[in-house]
């Protein structure tokens, strides 16, 4: 292992150096077994395919608190005398961690990076200061910003929503944060800007005018888009669907809902989707399903990688380790041509009981290896297995003749009936689900 290093005056993860790739035979918990950043797969390196990002909030702000008790982790960067000193130390720790892990990107909310303040001037000053600090650290380490966002859900003023709040004063106050977070994202070269509709939804339909609230959301997003473009933001705006939690019902329920919303309001030219695995499962879909819906609409932007717990019905934000999930996700990503400007952000947290600094490394190593294996297997399935051929063959009756004419919109109902009269009873054709599932396992085991 290479020698240890730090980006500021202090080393926050002593005894841990750059995480090496050691291959599958290694039992070193602090080494990659599959993720080999420079390894080429189909003309691109693993790093270029996967575009990993570390989430600032879970990894450096979340101390493990839950509704039943306070945090379990004492962070050495949380001990300075002033809020700004603590924010600076946290930034040093974050960039040290990200650099040691060898991840190219990070993501933040405005108030992860900088201390929040009710006073608008103070809030803006804090963020501007931390943008200078983060900019210097980005330069020093080469780490880049995948996306920025504003936290419009934690402060009590947002308890009834931000852009969808029934009180215009709150909607306007939310604009202060979105404007500042957009300024920060542009200043730091961020490639995307995310809206996760934290409390954009309702708790009680009796007191809610859904139609009005959603119209306000569309106006707010259009205003943010226009402002972003006016200050030179050329990246992608992303909406992150989630069906519930914290609200009883959230307006950005799932991919299909968000695709419809963006199209209805003419926002689909600037906005795409950021799909989070655990949000997809909360909405009753699989991760791959919500990715596929976004991809089919041409709106797959980025991923928040994590996993839920099959026994729990909430957003547990565990690190992704399930290889079926990562193969399924990477099949969709590869078939749709890759991430483009998007990436794979670990919106995941170590468990409350995981209190060693190494746990954060191992969590990310496991997630990165799981997605690297997902990439390998998905690529092999697409390039070398019969999968694509089987699937194409299943639809071959639409490739020529009457089937192709129907697909082009040239056959009416009467012509279809004529065809059926001549063709007779259709042959029974197996869907062969088991053969497909066995094929996936066969490549996973190789």
58 catalytic per annotation: no
Q: Which of Ni ion, ligand XLS, none sits in contact with 149, Cβ below 5 to 8 A by type?
A: ligand XLS
Residue 276 touching Ni ion (CB under 5 A) = yes
Ranges of H-type helices in 82-209 = 83-101, 110-113, 120-141, 168-187
Residue ranges in 302-331 that form contacts with Ni ion under rule CB under 5 A:
304, 315
The single residue among 112, 213, 240, 290 that binds ligand XLS, judged by CB under 6 A, is 240
Q: Which is nearer to Ni ion, 161 or 241 (CB)?
A: 241
Report which secondary-structure segment, H or E, holds 382.
helix 357-384
Report in angstroms how near the CB of residue 341 gets to Ni ion at its nearest.
17
* Nearest-angstrom CA–CA distance, 350 and 317: 8
* Phi, psi (rounded to 5 degrees) for 76: -65, -20
- Site for Ni ion contains 112 (CB under 5 A): no
Catalytic residue among 49, 109, 216, 285: 109
DSSP assignment of 345-373, as one string? EE-----TT--SHHHHHHHHHHHHHHHHH
Tokens of 92: 């040093």
CB within 8 Å of 426: residues ≥ 6 apart: none
State which residue, 270 or 315, has the beta carbon closest to ligand XLS. 315
Nearer to ligand XLS, 92 or 315 (CB): 315
Q: Is 254 one of the binding residues for Ni ion (CB under 5 A)?
A: no
Alpha helix (H) ranges present in 231-356?
255-264, 277-282, 287-296, 323-335
The residue nearest ligand XLS at its CB is 196
- Count residues contacting ligand XLS (CB under 6 A)? 10
Active site residue 112: yes
88 or 347: CB nearest ligand XLS: 347
Question: Distance (Å, rounded) from C-alpha 285 to C-alpha 254?
Answer: 9
* Residues numbered 267-296 forming contacts with ligand XLS, rule: CB under 6 A: 276
Cβ neighbours of residue 182 closer than 8 Å, sequence gap 6 or more: 148, 193, 224, 227, 228, 231, 233
Q: Which one of 110, 112, 290, 304 is the catalytic residue?
A: 112
Between CA 34 and CA 24 the distance in angstroms is 7
CB nearer ligand XLS, residue 277 or residue 334: 277
Q: What share of the chain is helix, strand, coil (3-state, %, to 5)?
A: 50, 10, 40
Peptide bond into 246 cis (omega under 30): yes
Asked whether position 196 contacts ligand XLS by CB under 6 A, the answer is yes
Which CB, 276 or 290, lies closer to Ni ion? 276
Q: 3-state class of 110 per DSSP? A: helix
Site string for ligand XLS, 316-345 (x = CB under 6 A): ------------------------------
Residue pair 426/363 in contact (Cβ under 8 Å)? The answer is no
How many residues form the binding site for Ni ion (CB under 5 A)? 4
Per-residue binding string, ligand XLS, 117-156, x by CB under 6 A, is: --------------------------------x-------
Chain positions 62 to 121 lying near ligand XLS, rule: CB under 6 A, are 109
Site residues for ligand XLS per CB under 6 A = 109, 149, 194, 196, 240, 242, 276, 304, 315, 347
Give the residue numbers annotated as catalytic, written as ranges. 109, 112
The contact set with Ni ion (CB under 5 A) reads 276, 304, 315, 347
């Amino acid at each position: 292992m290479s020698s240890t290093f730090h980006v500021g005056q202090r080393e926050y993860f002593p005894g841990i150096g750059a995480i090496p790739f050691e291959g599958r035979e290694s039992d070193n918990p602090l080494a990659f077994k599959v993720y080999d950043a420079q390894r080429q797969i189909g003309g691109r390196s693993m790093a270029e395919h996967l575009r990993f990002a570390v989430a600032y909030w879970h990894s450096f702000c979340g101390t493990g608190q839950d509704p039943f008790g306070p945090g379990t982790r004492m962070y050495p960067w949380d001990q300075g005398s002033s809020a700004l000193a603590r924010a600076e130390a946290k930034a040093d720790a974050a960039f040290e961690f990200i650099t040691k892990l060898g991840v190219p990107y990070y993501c933040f909310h405005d108030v992860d990076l900088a201390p929040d303040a009710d006073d608008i001037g103070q809030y803006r000053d804090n963020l501007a200061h931390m943008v200078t600090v983060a900019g210097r650290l980005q330069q020093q380490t080469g780490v880049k910003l995948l996306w920025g966002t504003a936290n419009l859900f934690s402060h009590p003023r947002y308890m009834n929503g931000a852009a969808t709040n029934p009180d215009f004063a709150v909607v306007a106050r939310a604009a202060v944060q979105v404007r500042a977070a957009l300024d920060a994202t542009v200043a730091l070269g961020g490639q995307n800007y995310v809206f996760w509709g934290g409390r954009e939804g309702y708790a009680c339909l009796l007191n809610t005018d859904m139609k009005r609230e959603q119209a306000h959301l569309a106006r707010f997003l259009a205003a943010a888009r226009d402002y972003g473009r006016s200050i030179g933001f050329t990246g992608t705006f992303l909406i992150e669907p989630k069906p519930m939690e914290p609200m009883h019902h959230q307006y950005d329920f799932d991919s299909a809902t968000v695709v419809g919303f963006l199209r209805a309001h003419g926002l689909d030219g600037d906005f795409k989707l950021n799909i989070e695995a655990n949000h997809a499962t909360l909405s009753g879909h699989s991760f791959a399903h919500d990715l596929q819906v976004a991809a089919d609409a041409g709106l797959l932007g980025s991923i928040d990688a994590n996993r839920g717990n099959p026994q729990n019905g909430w957003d547990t934000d565990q690190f992704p380790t399930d290889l079926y999930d990562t193969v399924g996700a990477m099949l969709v990503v590869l078939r749709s041509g890759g991430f483009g400007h998007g990436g794979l952000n670990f919106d995941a947290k170590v468990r409350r009981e995981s209190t060693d600094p190494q746990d954060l490394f191992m969590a990310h190593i496991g997630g990165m290896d799981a997605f690297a294996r997902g990439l390998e297997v998905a690529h092999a399935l697409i390039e070398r297995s019969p999968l694509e051929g089987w699937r194409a063959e299943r639809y071959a009756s639409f490739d020529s003749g009457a089937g192709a004419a129907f697909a082009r919109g040239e056959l009416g109902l009467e012509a279809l009936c004529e065809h059926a009269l001549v063709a007779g009873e259709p042959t029974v054709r197996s869907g062969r689900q088991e053969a497909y599932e066995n094929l996936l396992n066969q490549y996973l085991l190789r």
